Amino acid sequence: MNVAELLVKCLEQEGVEYVFGVPGEENVDLMDAFYDSEIDFIVTRHETSAAFMAATYGRLTGKPGVCLATLGPGATNLMTGVANANMDHAPLVAITGQAGLDRQHKISHQYYDLINMYEPVTKWNAQIKSAKITPEVVRKAFQVAGQEKWGATHIDLPEDVASLDIDETTPLQFNERPHTRASEAVIEQAVRMIEKTKHPLILAGNGISRQQAKEELRAFVQKVHIPVVHSFMGKGAISWQDDLSLLTAGIGGNDYITCGFNDADLILTIGFDIAEYPPKNWNRSDTPIIHIDTEEAETDANYPVALNILGDIPANLEQLGKHMSAKEQDNQWITDVRNKALNELQTFADDTNFPVKPQKIISDLRGVLNEDDIAISDVGAHKMWMARMYHAYEPNTCLISNGLASMGVAVPSAIGAKMAHPERNVVAVCGDGSFQMTGAELETAKRLDLPIIVLMWRDDGYGLIEWHQLKKFDRSSYIKFGNPDYRQLAASYGFEAMSITAADELKPALEKAINLDKQVFIDCPVDYSENMKLTEKLGDIIC
C-alpha cells in the first residue's frame, strides 16, 4: 500500500461518500487509489466549482465535504471555493497535489508554497511530509473542519510522498465531541436581563441551522413571545408564517425590519456572526446584546455584548427557556412591520410587466416550491431581492453565501444540494453574470443525472454593481456585456431549456420544470429598474 491508498482508506474511515475535483499530474496516485474505493470521485469542470459543491454538501449533511485539485493553478482555482466555505462556516476538507519534496527548496514548475497560501483561508492545514503521519493529518483535518465553528481545512500531498510504500496502517477512529453549556449563573443573569425589557428582539444567524437548534429556538420564542429577525444565512430559523417572524434583515437603508431594531431595548443574537450583517447597519443606538453562540463574538464598536452565553446552542436555549416565565409582549408593532413587508410581495403577484420584475419572479418561485425545497441564490442584484423577499419555512432551504459572497456559487451548490437531498426540488437562482462564471457545470449535472432547475435573471450586465454606481454617482460605467442564446446553450448541455417572453409565462414554466423531474434551464429577463425604486423607497421609510 502507498500513501495515496492509505489516505483514501482514511477518507473511507471518515465516512466520505464523494470527492469533488479535477485530476492532475501531481495527484495521479490519489486518482488511481479512488478507482478501487467505494468513494465516488465527481469530476467537475473547474476547481472552484468543486469546492462550492463540497461545501454545500457539507453544510446540508453536517459532514465535511471533500474537494481535490492538483498543484499550481489547480490549487489556486480551488482556493476561492475554500475561502468561501471557511467564511460561511461550511465544513470542508480540501486536498491538493503538490510538487515533490525534492524540488520545494527552489523555483520549480507550478510550485507555490500552498501551506502558506492556504493558511489565511482555512482553520488548519498541513503537508504530509512523511508516510506515517497520514492518519493523523486526515483525522485532524476532519476533526477541525467539523468542530464549531465549522470551516475549511487543507491537506497538501507532495507527489513523491503519495507514491511511497508504507506498511499496513490503521486509520484513526472518530471521537465524539463533548457538548458544553453555559453555567446556571449565566442563564439566570440572562433571564433577569430579558425580564426587565419591554421590546427585546432576536437576531437569528447561520448557527441555528449549523447547530440544529431550530426546535429549541422555536420553543423558546413561543414561550416568551420575542420576535425574530433573520440574517441572510439564518433564514427559516422560524417559519416566515409565524406571527413572531420579522422576516430578513440585511438590505442597507431604513428597511421595515431596521425599524424593528431601532425599537428594541435588548437584542439576543443567536448563532450570529458579524460577517453575516455588519452591526453598524442595524445597531445604531448601541442597544445591549446577549450573544448566544458557540464562541465569543468578534470585537465591534456597534456590537456591545452585555452577556455571553457560550456553548451548545440547543442546550443553552433549552435551559434559557426552562428558566423563563411565559410572557406576553406588546407586539402590535411586529404585526405592522410584517404586514408592510408581506404586502409588498403580494402586490406584485399578478404583475404583468415585462421584463419581469424581481418581486414577481420571487412571488412565482415561492408559490411553486414546497416548504422543504431548496433555493440557492448566487451573488448579484438578485441575491438582495431573494434575501429580502424569498421567505423560508425551514432552515437551509434558502442558501445565500454572505461571508465571502463569491459569484458563481449557485449552479455548483445546486449540484451539491441535490446530491445531499435527492428527494427535494433544488433551484439555482443566478444572474447572467454569475452563471457564466461556473455555467460549464451544467454538464456535470447532466452527467450525474441530477434534475436541478437553473433560474437565470438576465439583464445583460453586472446588475448589483450598476445599482451601487447609480446610488453613489447617479450613473453607471463598464457593467454591460453581451450574452449568448441561453436557450441554445443550455440545450447543448442536454437541459430542457425555456425562455420567458411574458410575465405570465414564468409560473407555468417553473411548474413544468418541477413536473419534468429533469435538468431544466429557464432564461428570464428581469427589470432591474426596480433596484433604484427600492433604494428610493428605503430612503423614505421613517423609523
Q: Domain limits of the chain?
A: 3-162, 184-335, 348-538
Asked whether residue 16 carries a pLDDT value surpassing 50, the answer given is yes
In the block, cell 445583460 appears at: 460
Q: In this predicted model, what pLDDT tens digit does every residue of 244-292 receive, in sequence order?
A: 998 888 776 566 777 778 888 999 999 999 888 889 888 877 899 999 9
The CATH number fitting domain 3-162, selected from 3.40.50.970, 3.30.1300.10, 1.25.40.10, 3.30.460.80: 3.40.50.970
Q: Indicate if the alpha-carbon torsion angle 272, 274, 275, 280 is positive or negative.
A: positive
Q: How confident is the model at residue 324 (pLDDT cuts 50, 70, 90)?
A: confident
Asked whether residue 325 carries a pLDDT value surpassing 90, the answer given is no
d(CA 271, CA 444): 34
Please report which helix (H) or strand (E) contains residue 541, including its range: none
d(CA 523, CA 485): 9
* Homologous superfamily of the 348-538 domain (CATH): Thiamin diphosphate (ThDP)-binding fold, Pyr/PP domains (3.40.50.970)
Q: Shortest CA distance to 98 belongs to which of 87, 85, 109?
A: 109
3-class SS of residue 24: coil
- Largest interatomic CA distance in the chain: 72
Asked whether residue 541 carries a pLDDT value surpassing 60, the answer given is no
Q: Indicate if the alpha-carbon torsion angle 53, 55, 59, 64 is positive or negative.
A: positive
CA-angle at 526, arms to 443 and 537, nearest 5°: 135
Please report which helix (H) or strand (E) contains residue 329, including its range: none
What's the pLDDT score for residue 542?
A: 46
Asked whether residue 329 carries a pLDDT value surpassing 60, the answer given is yes
Asked whether residue 543 carries a pLDDT value surpassing 70, the answer given is no
In the block, cell 443525472 appears at: 449
CB 272 within 8 A of CB 293: yes
d(CA 313, CA 292): 7
Q: Which amino acid is at 34?
A: F
Q: In this predicted model, what pLDDT tens digit does every residue of 127-142 receive, in sequence order?
A: 999 999 999 999 999 9
Q: In this predicted model, what pLDDT tens digit does every residue of 418-439 receive, in sequence order?
A: 999 999 999 999 999 999 999 9
| Edge-to-edge order in the sheet of strand 305-310 | 245-248, 228-230, 200-204, 266-270, 289-293, 305-310
Average pLDDT over residues 465-484: 92
What's the pLDDT score for residue 335?
A: 81
CATH of the domain spanning 184-335: 3.40.50.1220
Q: What is the DSSP string of 98-126?
A: E--GGGTTS--TT---HHHHHGGGSSEEE
β-sheet bridge partners, residue 435? none
* Phi-psi region at 28: left, alpha or beta (left = phi > 0; alpha = psi -120 to 50): alpha
Q: How confident is the model at residue 538 (pLDDT cuts 50, 70, 90)?
A: low
Q: In b/e form, how buried is each residue of 455-471, taking b as 16+ CB within 10 angstroms?
A: bbbbbebbbbbbbbbbe
What's the pLDDT score for residue 204?
A: 96
Task: Decide which of 342 and 8 is more confident.
Answer: 8
Mean of pLDDT over the chain: 92
Q: Shortest CA distance to 444 belongs to which of 16, 18, 29, 92?
A: 18
Query: What sections of 62-105 are H helices per DSSP?
Result: 73-87
State pTM to two decimals. 0.94
Same CATH fold assignment for domains 184-335 and 348-538: yes
Q: Shortest CA distance to 205 belongs to which of 293, 298, 300, 321?
A: 293
| Edge-to-edge order in the sheet of strand 496-499 | 398-400, 374-377, 426-431, 453-458, 520-525, 496-499
Q: In this predicted model, what pLDDT tens digit does every residue of 181-191 receive, in sequence order?
A: 899 999 999 99
Average pLDDT over residues 12-39: 95
Strands (E), 381-495: 398-400, 426-431, 453-458
Average pLDDT over residues 515-541: 85
The DSSP 8-state label assigned to residue 249 in this structure reads -
Asked whether residue 357 carries a pLDDT value surpassing 70, the answer given is yes
**Residues, the chain:** 543
For residue 98, count other CB atoms closer than 10 A to its CB: 29
* Phi-psi region at 494: left, alpha or beta (left = phi > 0; alpha = psi -120 to 50): left
The DSSP 8-state label assigned to residue 439 in this structure reads G
What's the pLDDT score for residue 252?
A: 64
Asked whether residue 80 carries a pLDDT value surpassing 90, the answer given is yes
Weakest-pLDDT range from 4-8, 47-51, 342-346, 359-363: 342-346
Q: In b/e form, how buried is each residue of 52-62, taking b as 16+ CB within 10 angstroms?
A: bbbbbbbbbbe
The set of cell numbers assigned to 186 is: 449565566
Q: How confident is the model at residue 298 (pLDDT cuts 50, 70, 90)?
A: confident
How many Å is the Cα radius of gyration of the chain? 24
Q: How confident is the model at residue 340 (pLDDT cuts 50, 70, 90)?
A: confident
Asked whether residue 540 carries a pLDDT value surpassing 60, the answer given is no
What does each C-alpha distance from 63 to 11, 42, 108, 156 come to in angstroms? 12, 17, 36, 20
CB 306 within 8 A of CB 193: yes
The DSSP 8-state label assigned to residue 233 in this structure reads G
Strands (E), 449-505: 453-458, 496-499
3-class SS of residue 456: strand
Q: Shortest CA distance to 365 belongs to which of 527, 508, 519, 233?
A: 508
What's the pLDDT score for residue 292?
A: 97
Cβ neighbours for 216, distance < 8 A, ≥ 6 positions apart: 313, 314, 315, 317, 318, 321
